[in-house]
Chain A
């Protein structure tokens, strides 16, 4: 299957700082990337969908000014958690798909964010 690389895999930051998470499709062009958040023992919650070169579409209840998403190229999307607070601590996962390939989505390895 296709490879999606997410970095960093784990980050601990102080409350009030910003954290950037990168998601790269390594062997295909990702026309669409998705960002999810997952709390312990819960399912993935879609935060936003981004298409290359356009603004992300955020799900209801997700603050776009707090979770900045950039999808400037067909192989890279970034999620920046601004002014992080302890309640932002979670597992963040990106996924990517391309219309030129099978319709399944491929997931990055996830980023475990802990805000202290």
Chain B
């Protein structure tokens, strides 16, 4: 079983829409969780860390459910500039495990 599983999409949504991405991880000993954003032909950039209590950064809300080993990212009021691939990343010890990424295209 893969360490991290994500729906690859693609998600094509109109501007202003709300979109949610989900991710599951297989190892309950995983310690830290992140969402990264990767634009085409660029390096991944940290979007936000994910905490058990849930956290919000502007239009972005991340949730972690340790019991279900499930991570989510919600984007409200989508902008054209949100178009990218969103990577779910799980850290355990000295290793980072990446999901395959979910592709989002926001349409005018």
Q: Which residues of A contact B (CB under 8 A)?
A: 1, 6, 32, 34, 42-44, 46, 49, 51, 91, 93, 95, 102-110, 112
Complex CA distance for A107 and B44, rounded to whole angstroms: 7
Answer whether A43 and B45 are a contact pair too, CB < 8 Å, given A49-B94, A104-B34.
no
Q: Do the beta carbons of B31 and A43 come within 8 Å of each other?
A: no
CA separation between A95 and B97, bound complex, in Å? Answer: 13
Min distance, Cβ B85 to any Cβ of chain A, angstroms = 9
Interface residues on B, range: 10 to 19
In angstroms, how far is the closest chain A Cβ from the Cβ of B5? 11
**Chain B residues near A42 (CB, 8 Å)?**
100
User: Mind listing 10 A-B residue pairs with CB under 8 Å?
Assistant: A1-B46, A6-B43, A34-B96, A43-B87, A44-B44, A106-B46, A108-B43, A109-B42, A109-B43, A110-B43
The one of A43, A102, A103 that contacts B98, using a Cβ cutoff of 8 Å: A43
Which of A43, A93, A106, A109 has most B Cβ within 10 Å? A43
Q: Report Cα–Cα, A103/B34, bound state, in Å.
A: 10
Residues of B within 8 A of A (CB): 31-32, 34, 41-46, 49, 87, 91, 94-96, 98-101
Q: Which residues of A contact B101 (CB under 8 A)?
A: 43
Please name all residues of chain A whose beta carbon is closer than 8 Å to the beta carbon of B98 when the two chains form the complex: 43-44
A104 and B32 CA atoms in complex are apart in Å by: 8
Chain A residues near B99: list those with CB within 8 A: 43
> A110 to B45, alpha carbons, bound, how many Å?
12
CB contacts (< 8 Å) of A102 on chain B: these are: 49
In the bound complex, CA of A79 to CA of B100 (Å): 24
Asked if residues A43 and B41 are in contact (CB atoms below 8 Å), the reply is no
Chain A residues lying within 8 Å of B91, measured Cβ to Cβ, are 103-105
